[in-house]
Structure 1
Amino acid sequence: MISALGPRIVRSNVVAAEPDSTRWNTLLDGLRVEALTDEFLSRVLRLPHYRDAQLPAAEIRRTGEQSFEALIRSLRSTHPSGAPADSEELRSIKLDIATDVGVSRARADIPVDALMTAIRLDFSVLWDALMALSGPDDAPLLVARADTVWQVVDAYASQTQGAYIAERQRMTTEASSVRQGLVASLFGVSAASATVVERAATALGLGADQRLSVAVAAGENAGALRVSIALAARRGAEVFTHPFADALLAFWPTDAQPGAALHDLGERSAALRCGLVDDVVGLTGLHDAGELALELARLATEADDTALRLQTDWARLARSRLGADGIRLAADVDAALAGCGQVERERLVETARAYVATGSIAASAESLFCHRNTLMNRMRRFSALTGIDLAVPVQAARLVVAWA
């Protein structure tokens, strides 16, 4: 049989017994994803195209762990017949992982044959580990399951290969398309002229009042955005992209229909570490929206697990812009509190933070597990020391920005 991984291995002459699901699942329970991934890395990094590629070992480890977890779940028997598990949820997980691997390897210029060689290692690593866990009495079981293991890995290889080829095609289109040049003109140093905007709208098939969503992911966060774009493209959606020196911008027509490819892309983007600007009206607003999304993306930290938006992260944006001008918003507050003891200073600061976050005495007291009178006393003490009345929005706003 010829498959994505090449000819199937020659079968043993040992007669296969009926599948023993209980024993098979016990063997699978003995597999350790971390150990499998370590062995995979030791082998794959010997391959020339992986050893010399601009692909971090941490990225290979991340996708390797996800792949082995999904493969083991696929091999686990959930039926008396010994048939492997293949729920809709698991199929979706495997497709996402295959897309992730295919896209990242395509972008790293890993040749497709090198990619297939690497995935073939998944089979050998899994099989060697199963052999190490088994005993002499397990030989018939292993023979009976060898074809299943191969088929599961081969199906994963086919999905990865499909994602890889699609991404390479996308890369070719991005490099050669006249439309991409028009997209680039929309994100120049200054906003594009009305003539250029009109030409771009015609070429991209977008109306003058088309509602658009814009996402920008910076640095290593760009990979996750690329995967989301690829998943939408597999469903026939068209997403427009533009590369910055250190970031990737994507924009697409906003779709409010749940289940639609572009709607799902919006949902996925909202869960990424990126800058996100929703509901941009037409291409004329795209330049400013792109700059804002890029600025937000560069403010993202490892602590962020969702997209940064102007509506929710304006204070962080304001702090960044003011800081760039050398303005220290809370220097006087820090100085005023410096004379307090450490415990009192911590109590006053946590009180101020809680109140500016909620604007409510009751909610703040509840979050700090103290009586409202205690909270009000601390607020008065904070005001006496710093001169900032937390109950006055225009004064409290300075702390909101300084502590963002």
Structure 2
Amino acid sequence: MPPSVLSAIASRCHFDLANATAEYTRAVRQLPGYSLAAIAEEELHRTAYDSLDLMMRLLAGEDVAEQLGARSDSIGRRRAQQGIALDSLARAVRMDFRFLWGVLRDEAHADEVVPLAEEVATIWDVVELHTSRVQTAYIAELSEVNRELERERGSLLRRLVAGEANDPAQLEHIAAMFGFPLDGRFRVAVANPRFSRQFRQALGRLRARPDMQAFDGVELAILDDAALSSHDRELLQQAPAGISPAVEGLGRVAVAWSIARRLAELVDTPDAAATLGSHWQHLVDEGLGPAAVAFRDERLAQLRALPAGRRALLLEGVHAYMRTGSIAETAERLFVHRNTVLKRLNAFTVLTGLDPSVPNDAATIRLLLGGIE
């Protein structure tokens, strides 16, 4: 920078920036995000002093552009790590101009005031150079952090659905990372690859707004069952995906994943899901294994919650009816009125969603009742 009134004034005052730094630090603390930020007062003061000092030395004609650039980069990355919003950071950095100008103006002799004012653009250019470097470094650091976060999320998802996250501490970390309740109920929706676009569209309409992930080359979403509205559940039935039954606890998501993935292979239209309720017969020949347990747990959860005596009466009525197919004959065998039989069958349907008088439901009931007494 050629010798000028500005450089002459800057060379006289860059050693005495203590007061300006203290005022700057107090002003920055008033900005949104800075008042509660985890930035130690000493760090904030040192950063402010170093920045003002380097800019003043640059204005004085010293060759410190590289040092200022390094300081700018350091500030941008550090504030990104500390969670300061970019707009608040930019406002804080641009405040440097006000304090630099104040120090220069106070130092200027009477005959230097007008020439100094004519060089105000130079001061602003230095501050903008600093601001630009800070913002660029901030964005670079944030992008790097986000990439690392996505890598970590992908790794954790892989461990969860592969059944490798069995340690309680790992499950707590996964719950925190994805915002899941640790002891909640979960479903997994897995896209049929032929209908990936329709799958994303269908899940995008859910009020629950689940995050869509990818694992082993297929798209999936882990759904917090409690967050699904009745409207969401209807929309899920129209998604071209395998939808698992609800499982208890984050640790059982791997079971739900394996079921949903197999069901996804059975999806043959872009507007209908495959569930155990609709497609269990396709899986019988393969041996249902954990799928049967999960489906039984889901459908019979409310029935199991009944007092043992009440549950036994309902099951007795269902078993008797399914052996005869006749309300009258069932009532005769159980020595009760036919209305009592009807009430028990209706109560069973309300609790399980399965009607013993419907042939398809009756087949499903026979499959399930072997797992409950």
TM-score by length of 1: 0.36
User: Larger Rg: 1 or 2?
Assistant: 2
TM-score by length of 2: 0.39
Higher relative contact order structure (alpha carbons within 8 Å, sequence separation ≥ 6): 1
